[in-house]
Structure 1
Amino acid sequence: MLKHSLCKRTLSSALFSLLVLAGCEKKAETPAENQSSQSSLPIPVKVVVVNMFEIGEDEGDTAGEFQLWKERQKLSQRFPFPQSHHDLFLNPETGVLGMVTGMGTNKSSSAVMALGLDPRFDLRKAYWLVAGISGFDPADASIGSAAWAEWLVDGDLMHEIDSRELPEDWSTGIFPLFSKGPYPEKRPPNQGEVFRINGQLTEWAFQLTKDIDLGDDETIAENRKKLTDFPNAQRKPFVLKGDNLAGMTFWHGDHLNRWANQWVDYWSEGQGSFVSSAMEDTGTAQSLAYLDRAGRADYNRLMVLRTASNFTVPHPGMTAAESLLSEGEDYAGLQLSLESAYRVGSRVVDTLVNDWDTYRDQMPYAANAH
């Protein structure tokens, strides 16, 4: 019963298989001319762009999350990163570093920790931008839309009883650790179930990007007309604020979508609102929290942007199983959501880099308040 959307971290189970077959785990070869020169001083990084997967090669084929960033941000200098999923790529002129964590909280947490402890880089002033696709609740947004999150809630740390064995007075078999049933009045201590990132930075990023034209797609525009029960899903792609549920299990369906909304509401104590379903962001936040404590990174400089490649509930007229299984036949939302992630995220990255003399030591929202 754990969960995730049609594509928990997005995409579909069929596309997930494609990623594996395409070589997500392979080690990139490292041309000698692109290897970093050994220096006694670590390289200061301005922005780390955190992507979660790539399809096939890093350039020149079907794009995953990393490819647009690598090409358009000119991330040309490769750094071998055998201690993690994928090599690192830097634009030495701008100080933007791109990483691909791999899919799931285990890979994101280990990748971010490995980077944070890497002596080749000085990340103490770096901003971290998670830019990835995900499943969205159609009550909140349309395919191709982009959501900035302030609350990151974990969908794995929990107790669970199969629904066929529930006590009669229980509404769900999913309930918090260190509790004696669903949604106790007093919330148990946070063991990593919820992370709140810098709300002022999130708001700054949202205000900076809220009016960006995200484009559209003819097929998607035609399909969204059918979503008569979801006015926001019928809109052209747009930028919003909305929170993220991260977990290792792909999930889909109306019942689990209700659970996701309730789980995020519960752990954020009514302050967060579930919009996007993905697999990595609590792992990334946990590692950055530890790295901050160690003086290696600044947790307050983390931003999380997710874009909608699919929905977390069935297509109209389909069961949850039919909807989930049919997703592998049509990836119409993939390219639009990848483009949205770049259009929105790159405005933030470029703004930070272009005024680095200010933003190196001062948060954008503080600097702009003067």
Structure 2
Amino acid sequence: MLAFGFLLGLALARIATVGALPTNTSGGLGSRSKIAPKVFIIDLFNEEGSSWFGIPEFNVLERNVTVPGFSPLFPEAHCTQDGAICQLVTGEAEINAASTITTLVHSSLFDLTRTYFLIAGIAGINPKVGTIGSVTFARYAVQVGLQYEFDAREKPVEFPTGYVPQGAFAPDQFPPIL
């Protein structure tokens, strides 16, 4: 969490050096004006998302906006009262992230033309390659949402697990690259 707080601080500092970016021009929850956040925080699951709740400097739970098309598990974007900072949870796996962000970008509720996006996700890295807070590009993404699962009583004996990536024939294989 410390690394993500640091990244958010950098993003907010960048906004301050750029000058006055647009803030929400809506007069309140009932207004029809678009919300124009300076920063939009994107999380992948509940624990990541809830780590932003209760921060005194910005309360993203002051304004909860239901966005049609978001996942039924995470149907709202959370924003500060003025809309300067917003946060959402996409759900794990690329398909959930893709559909949620596509919905956000095409939503008539937000003006994202001058918004910084902070993807605040957790991951692991070999300590010989990087340190906490490192930024890196992965060669592979682990897709836990698109896999087959054998019942433990029915999986082949040689399989160490019942999980097989979609398109592969064994748990330790990568699907073919098309």
| TM-score, reference length from structure 2 | 0.56
Give, in whole Å, the separation in 2 of the partners of 1:92 and 1:130: 21
AA in 2 matched with 1:71: G
AA in 2 matched with 1:115: L
Q: Find the partner of 2:42 among 50, 57, 62.
A: 50
* Identity fraction in percent: 19
Aligned to 1:102, what secondary structure does the other structure show? coil
The 5 A counterparts of 1:79-94 are 79-85=65-71, 86=74, 87-93=76-82
Partner of 1:105: 94
Conserved in 1, the CA contact under 8 Å of 2:60 and 2:86? yes
Partner of 1:249: 143
Give, in whole Å, the separation in 2 of the partners of 1:132 and 1:102: 11
Aligned to 2:123, what secondary structure does the other structure show? strand
AA in 2 matched with 1:121: F
State the 1:113 CA deviation.
0.8
Task: Detail structure 1 runs of 4+ shifted over 4 Å in the superposition.
Answer: none
Instruction: Compare relative contact order (CA 8 Å, sep 6+) and give the higher one, 1 or 2.
Output: 1
Q: How many residues align?
A: 114
CA RMSD of aligned residues (A): 2.5
State the 1:81 CA deviation.
2.5
AA in 1 matched with 2:59: K
Q: Which structure's residues are more often helix, by fraction?
A: 1
Q: Find the partner of 1:95 among 66, 76, 84.
A: 84
The 5 A counterparts of 1:84-233 are 84-85=70-71, 86=74, 87-93=76-82, 95-141=84-130, 145-148=132-135
Question: Structure 1: where are the runs of 5+ without partners?
Answer: 1-34, 55-63, 149-241, 251-278, 280-320, 322-370
Partner deviation per Cα, 1:134-169 (whole Å, 9 max, x = no partner): 121232235xx1122xxxxxxxxxxxxxxxxxxxxx
AA in 2 matched with 1:43: I
State the 1:246 CA deviation.
5.1
Asked if 1:71 corresponds to 2:57, the answer is no
State the 1:42 CA deviation.
1.1
Give, in whole Å, the separation in 2 of the partners of 1:249 and 1:42: 34
Partner of 1:180: none
| TM-score, reference length from structure 1 | 0.28
Partner of 1:297: none
Conserved in 2, the CA contact under 8 Å of 1:70 and 1:98? no
